[in-house]
Structure 1
Amino acid sequence: MIRPEISEYYARGGEYGRLSAREGRLEFLRTWDVLTRVLPPVPAAVLDVGGATGVYAAPLATAGYAVHVVDPVARHVTDAATRPGVTATLGDARALPVPDGSVDAVLLLGPLYHLTDRDDRVLAWREAGRAVRPGGVVVAATISRYASLMDGFAKGYFTDARFRPLVDGALASGRHANGDPTRQWFTTAYFHHPSELPLEVTDAGLVLDRVVAVESPLWLLGERLDEILADRVQVDLLLEMLRTVEADPTLLGASSHLLTIAHRAP
């Protein structure tokens, strides 16, 4: 269902613990903040496509949602199914194993990263639209076209001569072609330019609501971000301030991740 190097990356634990510290923790908090504002009220049924180990599914289930995870990595499915209130199935975002209009919301918080062909991404969007009821919401996460360039300087990756060609490729075509799963960098992926997202949504037959920046440029703060995230007052202020500017188009490219919110026409 997915490329071998991607499967190996996740089989080696590439998703475990990623959202628990620093910029990953900021990504989680901001994504959760958006979800609490755009998902229908409990006890709605949520299909978490590419939900990995259930890091979002678990708190959604705790909040009262009926959550089912579909993921192409067997280890992820096994772990997600152990989360209280969460069910999980092995599957592909391009051919979801659910009936038409059977859920109230669909999350695509991972699949669009790894579908490097546009036709496959549009198909994943279209499948989400098929699975959700009329009027239901679809929320998709994507990685910014410029994420590897900025991350390369923030973390010193450019000291390895093999990293520059990955960045050049991503900037030219969106394709981050890391075919070696043993390297420390992210596996093979597609990095979106913000302008591509409305077109993918429209071509899939969905209605675009908005595109928002997840972390904004603050994901590059390094150790200072640790200090902020350790202070509840600062976290609350951070979330409040980022909420006010999340849809500003001038911030989209500088955020590591973007969330696109769309819905199926009633």
Structure 2
Amino acid sequence: MSRSPYDTEPQLPALPQEILAYYEQGGELTRLRQGAGRLEFWRTQDLLRRLLPGAPARVLDVGGGTGIHAEWLAEDGYEVEVVDPVPMHVERSGRLPGVTARLGDARALPADTAAYGVVLLLGPLYHLPERPHRVRALAEARRAVRPGGAVVAATINRFAGLNDSLMQGNYFIPERRERTDAVSAHGRHRYSAADPHFTTAYFADPADVPREFAEAGLAPEGQYGVEGVAWLMGGVEEWLDDPERREAVLAATRRIESEPTLLGASGHVLTVGRRSGEDPEGRLG
């Protein structure tokens, strides 16, 4: 089966150094495993368990980080391969039972055509500020997934930074407010050494994402708010510590996960698209 048509292109920009440096700090080892980040983890897990084909199926987890989702997917019986551009992530995820991992770029996947039942992009799109690069990553996912298979991609919402900075109180710091307002206007979060909490990223308007899927040749099927509005509530971390309240929070968030009027309030959105059953070579058009 054919490889990516992009994998030998010399003009493919490398991963920006500030993104590599940010993730080499190791924050992904704990971000979704403790505190309020568990809401994103549990909700993503809940959604994927409903959206993915049944195990055993072959899953390509692009930008899979340290294997936070690859681990439970393998435990559920899936055959999981992680592709990530961060060497430390590849080393960590490759240790997990039932998971293989390799270095690679979402825009030129080291993957055979039509080889996977599902392709996950749970991080790459929000580190590709340029639309052509996001579409290219989605087109590569489409090439790698089998006809009829699904591509599931995560995006950070356009106003997530504004909502989060208000909740944390950082919006009242003038220089932070200026940067936050700029991101709210155009979606481009630019790295600053004075603001080390995040790195170069793109915050998407949820309405734009299905159009990018379509441009890549994928048929959009649905969108799901991951954290809903619960992530903005002051007691959420304590609620997640209590099994009974946690289940209530997850159930409440599930009730509004595809409500159009609330989709943009979530910190992250999952968008699902499907490759048609035709065009087995993975060409667009």
The TM-score range, normalised by the shorter chain, is over 0.9
Correspondence for 2:271: 260
In structure 2, give the amino acid aligned to 1:61: A
- Displacement of 1:29 in angstroms is 0.5
Correspondence for 1:231: 242
Match of 2:230 among 218, 225, 240: 218
Task: Please give the residue correspondences for 1:1-266 in structure 2 after superposition, counting only pairs within 5 Å.
Answer: 1-180=14-193, 183-222=195-234, 224-266=235-277
Do 2:93 and 2:101's aligned partners in 1 also have CA atoms closer than 8 Å?
A: yes
Do 2:119 and 2:151's aligned partners in 1 also have CA atoms closer than 8 Å?
A: yes
My pick for the range that moved more, 201-210 or 153-162, is 153-162
What are the Cα deviations for residues 122-161 of structure 1, in whole angstroms up to 9, with x where unaligned?
A: 0011100000000101111100100111111111223444
Correspondence for 2:3: none
Do 2:230 and 2:249's aligned partners in 1 also have CA atoms closer than 8 Å?
A: no
Q: CA RMSD in A?
A: 1.3
- Displacement of 1:54 in angstroms is 0.2
My pick for the range that moved more, 21-30 or 206-215, is 21-30
- Displacement of 1:207 in angstroms is 0.7
In structure 2, give the amino acid aligned to 1:190: Y
CA distance in 2: counterparts of 1:184 and 1:155, whole angstroms: 15
My pick for the range that moved more, 225-234 or 203-212, is 225-234
User: Per the alignment, in what secondary structure is the counterpart of residue 262 of structure 2?
Assistant: helix
In structure 2, give the amino acid aligned to 1:249: P
Change over 3 Å in CA distance of 1:159–1:242 after alignment to 2: closer
Per the normalisation by structure 1, the TM-score is 0.96
Do 2:155 and 2:270's aligned partners in 1 also have CA atoms closer than 8 Å?
A: yes
- Displacement of 1:186 in angstroms is 1.3
In structure 1, give the amino acid aligned to 2:48: L
Structure 2: gaps spanning 5 or more residues: 1-13, 278-285
User: Per the alignment, in what secondary structure is the counterpart of residue 15 of structure 1?
Assistant: helix
> How many pairs align?
264
CA distance in 2: counterparts of 1:185 and 1:252, whole angstroms: 24
- Displacement of 1:237 in angstroms is 2.2
What are the Cα deviations for residues 154-203 of structure 1, in whole angstroms up to 9, with x where unaligned?
A: 112234443223212211211011242x7342111000011101100100
My pick for the range that moved more, 61-70 or 165-174, is 165-174
In structure 2, give the amino acid aligned to 1:3: P
In structure 1, give the amino acid aligned to 2:245: Q
Structure 1: gaps spanning 5 or more residues: none
- Displacement of 1:221 in angstroms is 1.6
CA distance in 2: counterparts of 1:81 and 1:11, whole angstroms: 16
Do 2:171 and 2:180's aligned partners in 1 also have CA atoms closer than 8 Å?
A: no
Do 1:166 and 1:178's aligned partners in 2 also have CA atoms closer than 8 Å?
A: no
